[in-house]
A = this chain, B = another copy of it.
Amino acid sequence: MPSDENDRPAGVAASEGITLQELQLAARNHGMPLEGLRYDVTPIGLHYLLIHFDIPGADASAWTLSVEGRVRHPLALSMDALRARPAVTLTVTMECAGNGRARLYPRPLSQPWLSEAVGTAEWTGTPLGAVLEEAGLEDDAVELVFTGADHGTQGGEEQDYQRSLTIADATRDEVVLAYEVDGRPLPPQHGFPVRLLVPGWYGMTSVKWLRRIDAVAEPFEGYQMDAYRLRQAPDDPGVPVTRMQPRALMIPPGFPEFFERVRTVEAGPQVLEGRAWSGWGPVVRVEVSVDGGTTWEDAALGEPLGRYAWRGWSFAWDATPGEHELVVRATDETGSIQPTDQPWNHHGLANNMAQRVVVTAR
Protein backbone atom coordinates (compact mmCIF):
# COMPACT_ATOMS: atom_id res chain seq x y z
CA MET A 1 0.00 0.00 0.00
CA PRO A 2 2.14 2.87 -1.23
CA SER A 3 1.52 6.20 0.43
CA ASP A 4 -0.16 9.01 -1.42
CA GLU A 5 -0.95 12.68 -1.06
CA ASN A 6 -3.75 11.99 1.40
CA ASP A 7 -1.59 9.73 3.48
CA ARG A 8 -0.43 12.48 5.80
CA PRO A 9 2.04 10.59 7.96
CA ALA A 10 3.90 9.77 4.78
CA GLY A 11 3.43 13.33 3.55
CA VAL A 12 6.13 15.94 3.45
CA ALA A 13 5.89 19.40 4.98
CA ALA A 14 5.21 22.28 2.66
CA SER A 15 7.01 24.80 4.86
CA GLU A 16 9.59 24.99 7.62
CA GLY A 17 7.06 25.68 10.36
CA ILE A 18 5.90 22.67 12.36
CA THR A 19 2.20 22.02 11.76
CA LEU A 20 -0.54 21.80 14.38
CA GLN A 21 -0.79 18.08 13.65
CA GLU A 22 2.89 17.54 14.38
CA LEU A 23 2.59 19.66 17.53
CA GLN A 24 -0.31 17.51 18.72
CA LEU A 25 1.97 14.50 18.50
CA ALA A 26 4.91 16.30 20.12
CA ALA A 27 2.71 17.37 23.05
CA ARG A 28 1.63 13.74 23.66
CA ASN A 29 4.85 11.85 23.04
CA HIS A 30 8.13 12.92 24.47
CA GLY A 31 11.84 12.46 24.13
CA MET A 32 14.47 12.15 26.81
CA PRO A 33 15.93 15.55 27.65
CA LEU A 34 19.58 14.99 26.76
CA GLU A 35 20.85 15.68 30.27
CA GLY A 36 19.08 12.35 30.91
CA LEU A 37 22.18 10.76 29.32
CA ARG A 38 23.67 11.25 32.79
CA TYR A 39 21.84 8.16 34.07
CA ASP A 40 22.87 4.57 33.27
CA VAL A 41 19.20 3.64 33.40
CA THR A 42 16.77 6.35 32.33
CA PRO A 43 14.30 7.37 35.04
CA ILE A 44 11.04 6.03 33.69
CA GLY A 45 9.27 9.34 33.09
CA LEU A 46 12.24 10.47 31.00
CA HIS A 47 12.39 7.43 28.70
CA TYR A 48 11.15 8.36 25.25
CA LEU A 49 7.61 7.44 24.38
CA LEU A 50 5.84 7.08 21.03
CA ILE A 51 2.23 5.99 20.97
CA HIS A 52 0.49 5.75 17.63
CA PHE A 53 -3.09 5.82 18.86
CA ASP A 54 -4.34 6.13 22.48
CA ILE A 55 -2.96 4.47 25.59
CA PRO A 56 -5.53 1.71 26.14
CA GLY A 57 -7.04 1.05 29.52
CA ALA A 58 -6.07 -2.40 30.78
CA ASP A 59 -7.12 -4.69 33.62
CA ALA A 60 -4.17 -6.96 34.39
CA SER A 61 -6.36 -9.45 36.26
CA ALA A 62 -8.49 -9.98 33.14
CA TRP A 63 -5.69 -9.73 30.58
CA THR A 64 -5.05 -12.67 28.29
CA LEU A 65 -2.21 -12.99 25.82
CA SER A 66 -3.18 -15.54 23.22
CA VAL A 67 -0.84 -17.50 20.98
CA GLU A 68 -2.72 -18.82 17.98
CA GLY A 69 -2.72 -19.35 14.23
CA ARG A 70 -0.28 -21.93 12.85
CA VAL A 71 0.44 -23.56 16.21
CA ARG A 72 -0.35 -27.06 17.43
CA HIS A 73 -1.33 -25.95 20.95
CA PRO A 74 -2.95 -22.53 21.09
CA LEU A 75 -2.26 -20.75 24.38
CA ALA A 76 -4.20 -18.20 26.41
CA LEU A 77 -1.80 -16.83 28.99
CA SER A 78 -2.95 -14.81 31.98
CA MET A 79 -0.56 -12.37 33.61
CA ASP A 80 -0.18 -14.85 36.47
CA ALA A 81 0.78 -17.53 33.96
CA LEU A 82 3.34 -15.21 32.36
CA ARG A 83 4.81 -14.29 35.73
CA ALA A 84 5.05 -17.97 36.70
CA ARG A 85 7.37 -18.63 33.76
CA PRO A 86 11.17 -18.21 33.92
CA ALA A 87 12.04 -14.51 34.17
CA VAL A 88 14.96 -12.61 32.74
CA THR A 89 15.97 -8.98 33.21
CA LEU A 90 17.70 -7.13 30.39
CA THR A 91 19.12 -3.63 30.24
CA VAL A 92 18.03 -2.31 26.87
CA THR A 93 18.51 0.93 25.00
CA MET A 94 15.49 1.66 22.84
CA GLU A 95 15.19 4.34 20.20
CA CYS A 96 12.32 5.48 18.00
CA ALA A 97 12.83 4.77 14.31
CA GLY A 98 11.77 8.35 13.62
CA ASN A 99 14.40 9.96 15.83
CA GLY A 100 15.94 12.91 13.99
CA ARG A 101 13.02 13.22 11.56
CA ALA A 102 12.43 16.92 12.20
CA ARG A 103 15.98 17.72 11.07
CA LEU A 104 15.26 16.45 7.55
CA TYR A 105 14.48 18.88 4.77
CA PRO A 106 11.90 18.62 3.38
CA ARG A 107 10.44 17.25 6.59
CA PRO A 108 8.34 14.06 6.54
CA LEU A 109 5.08 14.69 8.40
CA SER A 110 4.84 12.55 11.50
CA GLN A 111 6.08 12.79 15.09
CA PRO A 112 8.67 15.59 14.79
CA TRP A 113 11.61 14.20 16.76
CA LEU A 114 14.86 16.09 17.00
CA SER A 115 17.48 13.89 18.75
CA GLU A 116 15.84 12.82 22.00
CA ALA A 117 13.76 9.75 21.15
CA VAL A 118 15.76 7.27 23.20
CA GLY A 119 16.00 5.74 26.67
CA THR A 120 17.48 2.81 28.54
CA ALA A 121 15.51 0.64 30.95
CA GLU A 122 15.75 -2.63 32.82
CA TRP A 123 12.97 -4.80 31.46
CA THR A 124 11.86 -8.01 33.11
CA GLY A 125 9.85 -10.67 31.33
CA THR A 126 9.83 -14.19 30.05
CA PRO A 127 11.58 -15.36 26.89
CA LEU A 128 9.28 -15.57 23.90
CA GLY A 129 11.09 -18.54 22.36
CA ALA A 130 10.02 -20.95 25.11
CA VAL A 131 6.41 -19.78 24.83
CA LEU A 132 6.48 -20.46 21.10
CA GLU A 133 8.06 -23.83 21.71
CA GLU A 134 5.23 -24.71 24.06
CA ALA A 135 2.68 -23.59 21.49
CA GLY A 136 4.44 -25.70 18.84
CA LEU A 137 4.81 -23.82 15.57
CA GLU A 138 3.46 -25.64 12.55
CA ASP A 139 5.98 -26.38 9.83
CA ASP A 140 4.43 -23.84 7.47
CA ALA A 141 4.66 -20.94 9.94
CA VAL A 142 7.02 -18.23 8.66
CA GLU A 143 6.29 -15.22 10.86
CA LEU A 144 4.72 -14.18 14.14
CA VAL A 145 2.30 -11.26 14.09
CA PHE A 146 2.09 -9.27 17.33
CA THR A 147 -1.14 -7.38 18.01
CA GLY A 148 -1.46 -4.60 20.59
CA ALA A 149 -4.62 -3.29 22.21
CA ASP A 150 -4.07 0.20 20.80
CA HIS A 151 -6.55 0.91 18.06
CA GLY A 152 -6.93 3.68 15.53
CA THR A 153 -6.71 4.77 11.94
CA GLN A 154 -3.51 5.42 10.05
CA GLY A 155 -2.98 5.83 6.35
CA GLY A 156 -6.73 5.55 5.92
CA GLU A 157 -6.75 2.06 7.45
CA GLU A 158 -8.47 1.21 10.73
CA GLN A 159 -6.26 -1.14 12.69
CA ASP A 160 -4.98 -2.53 15.91
CA TYR A 161 -1.28 -1.80 16.07
CA GLN A 162 0.44 -4.83 14.55
CA ARG A 163 3.98 -5.76 13.63
CA SER A 164 5.57 -9.06 12.66
CA LEU A 165 8.91 -10.80 13.04
CA THR A 166 10.32 -13.81 11.25
CA ILE A 167 10.54 -16.94 13.37
CA ALA A 168 14.32 -16.62 13.45
CA ASP A 169 14.12 -13.06 14.81
CA ALA A 170 11.28 -13.82 17.24
CA THR A 171 13.03 -16.79 18.82
CA ARG A 172 16.33 -15.08 19.57
CA ASP A 173 17.27 -15.50 23.25
CA GLU A 174 16.91 -11.81 24.04
CA VAL A 175 13.33 -11.41 22.77
CA VAL A 176 11.01 -11.33 25.77
CA LEU A 177 7.43 -10.72 26.83
CA ALA A 178 8.10 -7.91 29.33
CA TYR A 179 5.79 -7.11 32.24
CA GLU A 180 8.09 -5.05 34.47
CA VAL A 181 10.37 -2.11 33.93
CA ASP A 182 12.93 -1.01 36.50
CA GLY A 183 11.51 -3.51 38.97
CA ARG A 184 7.87 -2.40 38.84
CA PRO A 185 4.87 -3.30 36.69
CA LEU A 186 4.93 -1.48 33.37
CA PRO A 187 3.32 1.95 33.56
CA PRO A 188 0.33 2.35 31.22
CA GLN A 189 2.29 4.30 28.64
CA HIS A 190 4.95 1.62 28.27
CA GLY A 191 2.55 -1.22 27.53
CA PHE A 192 0.89 -2.34 30.76
CA PRO A 193 0.39 -5.16 31.47
CA VAL A 194 2.69 -6.83 28.91
CA ARG A 195 4.66 -5.85 25.83
CA LEU A 196 7.00 -7.40 23.36
CA LEU A 197 10.63 -6.39 23.79
CA VAL A 198 13.04 -6.84 20.89
CA PRO A 199 16.46 -5.58 22.01
CA GLY A 200 18.56 -3.94 19.32
CA TRP A 201 15.63 -3.04 17.10
CA TYR A 202 13.94 0.32 16.79
CA GLY A 203 11.01 0.70 19.17
CA MET A 204 8.15 0.12 16.71
CA THR A 205 8.99 -3.58 16.85
CA SER A 206 8.41 -3.88 20.60
CA VAL A 207 4.60 -3.95 20.43
CA LYS A 208 3.00 -2.55 23.59
CA TRP A 209 -0.24 -3.75 25.26
CA LEU A 210 0.36 -7.12 23.64
CA ARG A 211 -2.74 -9.27 23.50
CA ARG A 212 -2.25 -11.70 20.62
CA ILE A 213 0.55 -13.53 18.81
CA ASP A 214 -0.41 -15.18 15.54
CA ALA A 215 1.79 -17.65 13.75
CA VAL A 216 1.19 -17.11 10.04
CA ALA A 217 2.14 -18.98 6.88
CA GLU A 218 2.68 -15.87 4.76
CA PRO A 219 4.75 -12.76 5.46
CA PHE A 220 2.56 -10.16 7.18
CA GLU A 221 1.85 -7.08 5.10
CA GLY A 222 -0.04 -4.87 7.56
CA TYR A 223 0.11 -1.10 7.57
CA GLN A 224 2.86 -0.77 10.16
CA MET A 225 5.14 -3.04 8.12
CA ASP A 226 4.70 -0.79 5.11
CA ALA A 227 5.09 2.40 7.14
CA TYR A 228 8.52 1.49 8.48
CA ARG A 229 10.47 1.14 5.26
CA LEU A 230 13.32 3.21 3.89
CA ARG A 231 12.15 4.61 0.58
CA GLN A 232 12.86 7.69 -1.50
CA ALA A 233 9.37 8.08 -2.92
CA PRO A 234 5.89 6.86 -1.95
CA ASP A 235 5.86 4.25 -4.73
CA ASP A 236 9.35 2.91 -4.02
CA PRO A 237 9.08 -0.58 -2.49
CA GLY A 238 11.91 0.30 -0.11
CA VAL A 239 13.59 -1.84 2.51
CA PRO A 240 12.38 -2.63 6.02
CA VAL A 241 13.70 -0.69 9.01
CA THR A 242 14.88 -3.14 11.67
CA ARG A 243 17.86 -2.58 13.98
CA MET A 244 19.05 0.71 15.40
CA GLN A 245 21.76 2.51 13.46
CA PRO A 246 24.80 3.55 15.51
CA ARG A 247 24.39 6.83 17.36
CA ALA A 248 26.30 8.77 19.98
CA LEU A 249 24.75 11.61 21.95
CA MET A 250 26.39 14.04 24.35
CA ILE A 251 25.05 15.66 27.47
CA PRO A 252 24.83 19.27 26.31
CA PRO A 253 27.57 20.96 28.33
CA GLY A 254 27.18 24.12 30.41
CA PHE A 255 23.79 25.75 30.80
CA PRO A 256 21.05 26.68 28.33
CA GLU A 257 19.11 29.72 27.33
CA PHE A 258 15.45 28.89 27.95
CA PHE A 259 14.01 29.44 24.48
CA GLU A 260 16.83 29.05 21.95
CA ARG A 261 18.53 26.34 24.05
CA VAL A 262 21.94 27.77 23.06
CA ARG A 263 24.60 26.81 25.61
CA THR A 264 27.21 28.63 27.64
CA VAL A 265 30.23 26.91 29.21
CA GLU A 266 33.10 28.24 31.28
CA ALA A 267 36.33 28.39 29.28
CA GLY A 268 39.01 25.93 30.36
CA PRO A 269 39.38 22.20 30.82
CA GLN A 270 36.23 20.16 31.00
CA VAL A 271 34.93 16.73 30.25
CA LEU A 272 32.33 16.07 27.57
CA GLU A 273 30.25 12.97 28.28
CA GLY A 274 27.51 10.96 26.68
CA ARG A 275 26.33 7.54 25.55
CA ALA A 276 26.52 5.57 22.33
CA TRP A 277 24.73 2.51 20.98
CA SER A 278 24.00 0.46 17.89
CA GLY A 279 21.57 -2.37 17.22
CA TRP A 280 24.03 -4.04 14.85
CA GLY A 281 26.80 -4.71 17.35
CA PRO A 282 28.87 -3.08 20.05
CA VAL A 283 30.01 0.48 19.57
CA VAL A 284 33.76 0.28 19.12
CA ARG A 285 34.62 3.94 18.61
CA VAL A 286 33.26 7.37 19.49
CA GLU A 287 34.84 10.45 17.99
CA VAL A 288 34.40 14.06 18.99
CA SER A 289 34.99 17.15 16.90
CA VAL A 290 35.21 20.53 18.60
CA ASP A 291 35.45 22.40 15.27
CA GLY A 292 32.20 21.52 13.58
CA GLY A 293 33.42 18.25 12.08
CA THR A 294 36.69 19.39 10.47
CA THR A 295 38.91 17.36 12.79
CA TRP A 296 38.06 14.42 15.03
CA GLU A 297 39.57 12.84 18.12
CA ASP A 298 38.73 9.59 19.86
CA ALA A 299 36.69 9.69 23.03
CA ALA A 300 37.34 7.21 25.84
CA LEU A 301 34.76 4.43 25.98
CA GLY A 302 33.18 3.16 29.19
CA GLU A 303 32.01 -0.37 29.79
CA PRO A 304 28.77 -1.34 28.04
CA LEU A 305 25.84 -1.79 30.43
CA GLY A 306 25.02 -5.01 28.65
CA ARG A 307 24.85 -6.45 25.18
CA TYR A 308 21.78 -4.37 24.27
CA ALA A 309 22.47 -1.14 26.11
CA TRP A 310 24.38 2.04 25.44
CA ARG A 311 27.93 2.56 26.65
CA GLY A 312 29.29 5.76 28.12
CA TRP A 313 31.99 7.85 26.52
CA SER A 314 34.00 10.84 27.72
CA PHE A 315 36.30 13.36 26.12
CA ALA A 316 38.58 15.93 27.73
CA TRP A 317 38.13 19.34 26.11
CA ASP A 318 39.99 22.54 26.83
CA ALA A 319 37.46 25.14 25.80
CA THR A 320 38.93 28.36 24.47
CA PRO A 321 36.76 31.47 24.74
CA GLY A 322 34.33 31.89 21.86
CA GLU A 323 31.76 29.84 19.97
CA HIS A 324 32.35 26.17 19.21
CA GLU A 325 30.36 23.57 17.34
CA LEU A 326 30.76 20.21 19.07
CA VAL A 327 30.00 17.09 17.05
CA VAL A 328 30.04 13.45 18.12
CA ARG A 329 29.76 10.27 16.08
CA ALA A 330 29.88 6.55 16.81
CA THR A 331 31.16 3.57 14.87
CA ASP A 332 29.95 0.05 15.61
CA GLU A 333 31.79 -3.23 15.18
CA THR A 334 30.31 -3.74 11.72
CA GLY A 335 32.21 -0.60 10.66
CA SER A 336 29.03 1.43 10.32
CA ILE A 337 29.72 5.09 11.18
CA GLN A 338 27.30 7.96 11.68
CA PRO A 339 27.07 10.41 8.80
CA THR A 340 27.64 14.11 9.37
CA ASP A 341 25.06 14.99 6.73
CA GLN A 342 21.68 13.34 6.90
CA PRO A 343 20.60 11.16 3.96
CA TRP A 344 16.91 11.77 3.30
CA ASN A 345 14.12 9.20 3.13
CA HIS A 346 10.42 9.55 2.60
CA HIS A 347 9.19 8.60 6.09
CA GLY A 348 12.15 10.09 7.95
CA LEU A 349 13.35 6.82 9.48
CA ALA A 350 16.65 5.52 10.85
CA ASN A 351 18.22 8.98 10.69
CA ASN A 352 21.46 8.87 12.59
CA MET A 353 23.26 12.03 11.58
CA ALA A 354 25.93 13.05 14.09
CA GLN A 355 24.65 15.35 16.86
CA ARG A 356 25.83 18.97 16.77
CA VAL A 357 25.84 21.20 19.85
CA VAL A 358 26.77 24.87 19.60
CA VAL A 359 28.32 26.26 22.79
CA THR A 360 29.92 29.55 23.70
CA ALA A 361 32.82 29.38 26.13
CA ARG A 362 33.29 32.47 28.28
A189 touches B256 (CB 8 A): no
Residues of B within 8 A of A19 (CB): 17-18
Residues of B within 8 A of A282 (CB): none
**Could you give, for residues 27-67 of chain A, a 1 whenever the CB lies within 8 Å of some chain B CB and a 0 otherwise?**
11111010110110001111101011111010000000000
27 chain-A/chain-B pairs, Cβ below 8 angstroms? A9-B259, A23-B26, A23-B112, A25-B259, A25-B261, A27-B31, A30-B30, A33-B51, A35-B55, A35-B57, A36-B55, A36-B188, A44-B44, A44-B45, A45-B45, A45-B46, A45-B187, A46-B188, A46-B189, A54-B252, A151-B255, A153-B256, A153-B257, A153-B258, A154-B257, A154-B258, A154-B259
Which B residue sits closest to A47, measured CB to CB? B45
Asked whether any CB of chain B lies closer than 8 Å to the CB of A5, the reply is: no
Which B residue sits closest to A15, measured CB to CB? B17
Contact of A21 among B110, B113, B255, B261 (CB under 8 A): B261
Asked whether any CB of chain B lies closer than 8 Å to the CB of A215, the reply is: no
B54 touches A33 (CB 8 A): yes
**Residues of chain A having any CB pair with chain B under 8 Å:** 8-9, 15-31, 33, 35-36, 38-39, 43-47, 49, 51-55, 57, 102, 109-110, 112-114, 116, 151-155, 158, 187-190, 252, 255-261, 264
A8 touches B259 (CB 8 A): yes
Residues of B within 8 A of A114 (CB): 23-24, 27
Which B residue sits closest to A223, measured CB to CB? B258
A259 touches B110 (CB 8 A): yes
A256 touches B35 (CB 8 A): no
B27 touches A55 (CB 8 A): no
B33 touches A55 (CB 8 A): yes
Interface centre among A49, A112, A261 (most CB of B within 10 A): A261
Residues of B within 8 A of A49 (CB): 30, 45
Residues of B within 8 A of A259 (CB): 8-9, 21, 25, 109-110, 154
Separation in Å of the A12 CB from the closest CB of chain B? 13
Residues of B within 8 A of A31 (CB): 27-28
Which B residue sits closest to A153, measured CB to CB? B257
Residues of B within 8 A of A155 (CB): 258
Which B residue sits closest to A252, measured CB to CB? B54
| Docked complex Cα distance between A261 and B258 (Å) | 29
